A = this chain, B = another copy of it.
Amino acid sequence: MEFTVQQIADLLQGTIEGDSNAKVSTLAKIEEARQGALAFLSNAKYEPFLYTTQASAIIVSDKLELKKPVAPTLIRVADPYTSFSVLLQYYQTALLASKTGVEEPCFIGTGSQIGSGHYRGAFSYIGNNCKIGENVRIFPQVYIGDNVQIGANTTIFAGAKLYTNTVVGSHCTIHAGAVLGSDGFGFAPQPDGSYKAIPQIGNVLLEDHVSIGANTTIDCATMGSTIIRRGSKIDNLVQIAHNVEIGTDTVIAAQAGISGSTKIGNQCVIAGQVGIVGHISIADKTTVGAQSGVSKSVKESGTIIQGSPAFDYKQNLRAMTVFRKLPELQRELENLKDKS
């Protein structure tokens, strides 16, 4: 996609200084931009790059006073950061919107309905009796089992797998390789030391505006649903076990794991590589620091915890400071013992 600076300026209702016919084909940071790129200057700290950048055009503030001549064409707007964000959004939307229609071969079972405006990539699979809304994009090699429901404007990237009975809301994004609805890890020990699988007949339910990262796994419930509520964002390689419930607008970073039947509140922030045991509750607006292990319920909203096992993060920080000096403490204690 190539545009003239004039076209961009028209879109942003900006004013051009320089060659309005300059062509741009990509967006870049001002410090990395090459010829053909459009960048922006918002933070004064980056102004020196304005006079050295190879970008073909830069979005700058109406109020910016140039200290030297500049090579790129300028587009002056009220708020460069917001204008640039608008372009980023256009760019990504255009990229996705270019995917429409059906690529062959793809597979669709009996009794399944798909809304208009959808994309189905080659080698994608849709089972029987599925209901799929409008403008849904199903990338190549996606697997959708039987009786799956998907709301409008949801995008499922290449190779994601949705087991039978999964329910996905509208405006969701599911990244490549994510697995929704695999069996919960439930095994009953037998008298001879072996294990027998407990049947897992529930499903996974994502509400609207949920995002699931690449190769993340979400197990189905034993019965009922494993639920991710509206607006929550799950990063890559996260494990969410059977019968877990994640509240609204909660963020879970990469490689975290939530064990079975645990309930996470609304607007929580769970950092990377955190582990949370099963059958507990985490209050709304809880923050759990990276690599923490949460072994008991968090009852008070707004709690911040850290450590494995996790406790109050300030207390943990202080304990960690002393931990480093433990050999010294031990020596001092020995000295006191000798003296006493």
Contacts and interface: CB of A to CB of B under 8 A. Distances in A.
A327 interface: yes
B193 A267 contact: yes
Contacts of A257: 237, 254-255, 272-273
B217 A213 contact: yes
Contacts of A251: 187, 195
> Can you tell how many copies of this chain the complex includes?
3
Interface of A: 27-29, 32, 85, 88-89, 91-92, 95, 103, 105, 107, 121-123, 125, 139-141, 143, 145, 157-159, 161, 163-164, 173, 175-177, 179, 182-183, 185, 187, 193-195, 197-201, 209, 211, 213-215, 217, 219, 223-224, 231, 233, 235-237, 239, 241, 248-249, 251, 253-255, 257, 259, 266-267, 272-273, 275, 277, 290-291, 293, 295, 308-309, 311, 315, 318-327, 329-330, 332-333, 336-337, 339-340
Nearest to A312: B324
B213 A215 contact: no
A39 B304 CA distance: 39
B323 A319 contact: yes
A194 B322 CA distance: 38
Contact of A311 (B145, B224, B324): B324
Given A143-B158, A254-B239, A293-B290, A107 B123 contact: yes
User: Which of the listed residues A236, A326, A330 has the most CB atoms from chain B within 10 Å of its own CB?
Assistant: A236
A99 to B, nearest CB: 9
Contacts of A326: 318-319, 322-323, 326
Given A159-B161, A236-B182, A241 B217 contact: no
B324 A333 contact: no
A239 B236 contact: yes
